[in-house]
Structure 1
């Protein structure tokens, strides 16, 4: 199981749209993510900054599996219009500096 954090940034003025569109993601996208090992995916927003906390069996395998998945391609196109730069599928995430368990 991998736990990783990702960071993305919204374009100014897109905060409410992003929040509203994430109130419920497409069922076929959630199903595909779960089928490919996602246990949980949380997104926190601070102004324009988005922090994703992901628990997944194998993040690289997830990204490879979703690369050409129709539900993910549609979702990425919908979300990328709101981001300041596209979601970087090749990112390994933020480096963990400290953790209290």
Structure 2
């Protein structure tokens, strides 16, 4: 499974409309996304900045599938009017710089643990 982070930005003044319209996505779009391997898609908003976190089987395959989806095309038209620049379907995500994992993972064992 892939974990993808994306960033988008709202147009000034679109915050309330975005929050209201994005509170629920169309059922047919959600079904297509799940069928395409999406396990989780979360969005946080900080002012105009949107941060997306996606867990998906294959992000490139998801993009290919949604590119031809009527439900996705309608949704993108609805949402893109609120964004400062359209959502780029070719975006590959933000590069991870650092991650804090579960305690004890990724560290050398101590003398007592050897």
TM-score tier after normalising by the smaller chain length: over 0.9
Q: Distance in 2 between matches of 1:69 and 1:40?
A: 19
Residue aligning to 2:2:
2
Q: Distance in 2 between matches of 1:60 and 1:100?
A: 26
- Paired residue total: 101
Superimposed CA distance per residue, residues 5-26 of structure 1 (whole angstroms, 9 cap, x where no aligned partner): 0000000000000000111110
Q: Distance in 2 between matches of 1:89 and 1:73?
A: 11
Give the RMSD, CA atoms, in angstroms: 0.4
Q: Distance in 1 between matches of 2:53 and 2:62?
A: 15
1:68 CA displacement: 1.4
Q: Distance in 1 between matches of 2:14 and 2:84?
A: 10
TM-score normalized by the length of structure 1: 0.99
TM-score normalized by the length of structure 2: 0.88
Residue aligning to 2:76:
76
Larger radius of gyration: 2
Which structure 1 residue ranges, 5 or more long, are not aligned? none
Tell which has more relative contact order, 1 or 2 (C-alpha 8 A, sep 6+): 1
Which structure 2 residue ranges, 5 or more long, are not aligned? 102-114
In the TM superposition, structure 1's runs of 4+ consecutive aligned residues that sit over 4 Å from their partners are: none
